[in-house]
Amino acid sequence: MVYHVTDSNKDTGFVSTIGMLSTIAAIVSFFSPHLSDSSLQAFFDESSLKKLFNSAKLEAERRFSEMKSRFSDISRRHIVALGSGWAWPALVDFDSKITEGAISSVEISESKNYTHGRYLNAYKHKSSRLFVLFSTGRDKRLTGFLEGRFSKDFPVFVLQTDNIGPIASVELMVKQLYLTNVLAKSRGLDIVKPSFPLEARGLYSWGPIYRYTERDSESDE
């Protein structure tokens, strides 16, 4: 079940399309002895995955349409993404895709740590904030509370799963991929082909700094 990502400096996948997918697959494999075979087989069954992909796509499109009807120009808002526990890997991957895809500015925080100053700062900039809440089967009450509080004043997307543990990370990873794609398309962007702003060109040249040479191998030994 492990998705291998090559570390070749010629790899053009870049972080916005590859991200943490391989990491999550490895985590699931590592923890699989602690999960029942039936639960793994049920989740990774081809028909189950197709159902997940289809529902994630439709949900992202539907929610974006709803938010767009309530709030103006949501595609250009600063994104605040919150989550905890096994939702965190998907949260980090969401951050990298939004950033490296040049879709929007974004900040991520552990759900319970989004308090006081950060909370007040969001309300001082109501017209420029969009919330994305990541939720697993362990933190439904907290997510429900945050959604109820924020949805009165901000666009709020909730990416939720009833699963817990590493499988929850995989499901949320899939859902955030579709939401990221919807947000990108709303700005005429394609996350599969990340853009490189003029200001950032030359920052990383894909040159010697990324090459793993024989000398590196010898120093490792």
**Eight-state DSSP code of residue 154:** S
Cα(156)–Cα(160) distance, integer angstroms: 12
The model's pTM: 0.78
SS3 label, residue 24: helix
DSSP string of 156-221, one letter each residue: EEEEE-S--THHHHHHHHHHHHHHHHHHHHHTT--TTS----GGGTTS--SSGGG---HHHHHHH-
Tens of pLDDT along the chain (221 residues)?
A: 454 545 554 444 445 455 566 666 666 766 666 666 667 777 777 888 889 889 999 999 999 999 988 887 887 899 999 999 989 989 988 998 888 788 889 999 999 888 888 888 899 998 899 999 999 999 999 999 999 999 999 999 999 999 888 888 889 999 999 999 999 999 888 877 766 667 766 665 555 544 545 554 455 45
pLDDT of the residue at 212: 45
Classify residue 160 as exposed, middle or buried by CB count within 10 Å of its CB (0-12, 13-18, 19+): buried
Query: Which class does domain 15-190 fall in?
Result: alpha beta
SS3 label, residue 74: helix
